[in-house]
């Protein structure tokens, strides 16, 4: 298969520079803003209920992240999400830590039930919990998934009518019909906090300029993974890797996605 569609989408993203509205967690909010800039988007981090509807209405995509969850934030997510749905703006949900506590699990399920989520991006444990497949989560980290992750993701995507992205050593992207695997990335991406959150932000940037959430998700995970590989090659430790990750994504070009993305059909 050719990587041309993903390279072309990356070029379109860089030219259009879409606004990506985030309601996200305070641990990684600055990283998510900066990685969005490096990808080619324009981030805005707004969670006040008095303004989220206005902000969502003019955004190219909405990214929801429950990493540091509270009930007021969920209310803002619902307000912004309904506006995004009304305006047909893609919504990316990162259900950070779903399965770790009842609040996180129930909140993620509520967002899935009450909003039209375009892309659900999580680790294997989080996706497994939401799919009812006995995923294991400790804190915000995945500790495994019972069963076949590809089959679970595919069936969940088909039933829920969404695109599901399972992040891991090999990323799985499926809408219930198509299943694509992205093999880019480096183990050092797990040595710092927030790479999952950043991946959701990059996915939001790509989704803002695409009518195909599968294509957007694949391109985003490949671009982010390639940046991780390039950053790891010159890193001396976790923090130099983190700096390199931003630098490498910012300097990545469509030709790098064309030549270096390792994408295949499952």
Q: Angle at CA 98, nearest 5°, toward 90 and 60?
A: 15
**Spatial distance between the Cα atoms of 136 and 66, rounded to a whole number of angstroms:** 17
Task: Provide the CA 111 distance to its chain's centre, in angstroms.
Answer: 16
Q: Can you give the pLDDT at residue 148? A: 87
**Spatial distance between the Cα atoms of 67 and 76, rounded to a whole number of angstroms:** 15
| The model scores a pTM over 0.85 | yes
Query: Superfamily for 4-265?
Result: Ribokinase (3.40.1190.20)
169, burial (CB in 10 Å: exposed 0-12, middle 13-18, buried 19+): exposed
Contact 210, 9 (CB under 8 A): yes
Q: Can you give the pLDDT at residue 150? A: 94
Over residues 23-80, the pLDDT tens digits come to 999 999 999 999 999 999 999 999 999 999 999 999 999 999 999 999 999 999 999 9
Q: Can you give the pLDDT at residue 146? A: 63
Contact 174, 153 (CB under 8 A): yes
Sign of CA dihedral 178, 182, 187, 189: negative
């Amino acid at each position: 298969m050719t990587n041309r569609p993903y390279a072309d989408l990356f070029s379109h993203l860089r030219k259009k520079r879409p606004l990506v509205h985030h309601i996200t967690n305070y641990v990684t909010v600055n990283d998510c803003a900066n990685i969005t800039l490096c990808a080619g988007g324009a981030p805005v981090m707004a969670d006040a209920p008095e303004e989220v509807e206005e902000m969502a209405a003019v955004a190219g995509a909405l990214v929801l992240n429950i990493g540091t969850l509270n009930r007021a934030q969920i209310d803002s997510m619902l307000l912004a999400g309904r506006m995004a749905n009304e305006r047909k703006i893609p919504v990316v949900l990162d259900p950070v830590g779903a399965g770790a506590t009842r609040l996180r699990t129930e909140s993620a399920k509520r967002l899935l039930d009450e909003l039209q989520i375009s892309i659900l991006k999580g680790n294997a444990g989080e996706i497994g919990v939401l799919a009812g497949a006995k995923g294991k989560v400790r804190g915000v980290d995945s500790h495994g998934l019972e069963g076949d992750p590809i089959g679970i993701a595919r069936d969940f995507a088909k039933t829920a009518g969404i695109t599901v992205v399972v992040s891991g050593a090999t990323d799985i992207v499926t809408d219930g019909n198509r299943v694509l695997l992205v093999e880019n990335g480096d183990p050092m991406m797990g040595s710092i906090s927030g790479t999952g959150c950043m991946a959701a932000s990059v996915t939001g940037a790509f989704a803002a300029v695409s009518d195909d959430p599968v294509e957007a998700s694949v391109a985003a995970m490949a671009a982010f993974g390639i940046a991780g590989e390039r950053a790891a090659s010159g890193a001396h430790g976790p923090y130099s890797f983190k700096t390199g990750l931003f630098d490498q994504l910012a300097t990545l070009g469509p030709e790098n996605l064309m030549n270096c993305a390792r994408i295949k059909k499952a």
